[in-house]
Amino acid sequence: MKKHIPLFIISLFAVFVVGAYMVLNHESYNELATITTVDTPTPQLTEINNGIKQDVPIGLKAHKHIGGKFQIVTIKNGTNKIDLNNDGVMDTVFMSKRENGTSPHGYSIYNFSIYTPPLAVFSSDTNSYWHSVIVWKGYKDSKDDNALYYNVLTTTEGADGFLEDIRLIKGQNQKPILVIARKDFGDSYADSQVVRFHFYDLVENTDGEDLSSNYSYKYRDTAVATSKYTDVNEAMDKELANKY
């Protein structure tokens, strides 16, 4: 008389085999946080200051919330070795201090440079050299604002806080994103005002765009801090992670 193996034992054995196969063939990875895209309210609002209506910057784009995790890239006075274009070669952000001759709070200057061969659209040279990276502003502070781009970036500092400063933020396997935080002067440096976070992406000038360097930061969009601040650095410390 033949003995039959109970059905439940066969089922358990099948589950064991499938489970073992999945374990042996599973690729190890770090799961990224779920990224959702949500339109935030447009930053083009009208503000009131001393009873006078003031137009906010013209041409701002409402920020699309990314929600991904990122690291703050540290920038200190002097030469900072940072891979700006994610090619495995260290580039530089040179930060220097500029005194104004009248008070202890001058301002800082940021100069971005990328070490790489020239783009093929401009040259067949394969030798690497330092390329200056410009920043296309992307909006107007007023209808009379004619600034198209910046060769360098600067802080705007006062005794009570910063009106303007920058951050470089980097997600996993991404090129660092430039963030310029700015607020209006108001009645004084100590006046709490709306802070805007302007986001910029590094791009290559593969189309041979006029006036552009081989590499430049292009304006993406703008997020607005929920609270008002006297110092944009405080705003970035408290709100940038949630606003990005």
Which is higher by pLDDT, 59 or 208? Answer: 59
Determine if the pTM surpasses 0.85. no
- In a domain? residue 159: yes
| Proportion of the chain above pLDDT 70, given as a percent | 77
Residue 34 has a pLDDT of 32
Label residue 220 by pLDDT band (50, 70, 90): very high
Residue 89 has a pLDDT of 95
For residue range 133-146, list pLDDT tens digits in order.
999 999 988 888 88
Query: What is the tally of structural domains in the chain?
Result: 1
Label residue 218 by pLDDT band (50, 70, 90): very high
Asked whether residue 31 carries a pLDDT value surpassing 50, the answer given is: no
- In a domain? residue 64: yes
Q: Are 168 and 82 in contact (CB under 8 A)?
A: yes
- Look at the chain and count its residues: 244
- In a domain? residue 24: no
Asked whether residue 2 carries a pLDDT value surpassing 80, the answer given is: no
- In a domain? residue 62: yes
- In a domain? residue 27: no
For residue range 160-169, list pLDDT tens digits in order.
889 999 999 9
Residue 184 has a pLDDT of 84
CA distance 87 to 192: 41
Instruction: Please name which of 242, 239, 198 lies closest in space to residue 63, comparing C-alpha atoms.
Output: 198
Q: Are strands 134-136 and 52-55 parallel, antiparallel or unpaired?
A: unpaired
- In a domain? residue 59: yes
Label residue 213 by pLDDT band (50, 70, 90): confident
Label residue 21 by pLDDT band (50, 70, 90): very low
* pLDDT average, residue stretch 18-43: 35
Which is higher by pLDDT, 21 or 63? Answer: 63
Asked whether residue 227 carries a pLDDT value surpassing 50, the answer given is: yes
What does the buried/exposed string (b/e) look like for 38-70 if buried means 16 or more CB atoms within 10 Å of the residue's CB? Answer: eeeeebbeeeeeeeeeeebbeebbebebbeeeb
Residue 112 has a pLDDT of 98
Residue 207 has a pLDDT of 80
What does the buried/exposed string (b/e) look like for 147-171 if buried means 16 or more CB atoms within 10 Å of the residue's CB? Answer: eeebeebebbbbeebbbbbbbbbbb
- In a domain? residue 16: no
For residue range 104-127, list pLDDT tens digits in order.
778 999 999 999 988 877 777 889
Label residue 100 by pLDDT band (50, 70, 90): confident
Residues β-bridged to residue 136: 149
- In a domain? residue 25: no
Domain residues for the domain of 121 are 33-243
* pLDDT average, residue stretch 96-110: 86
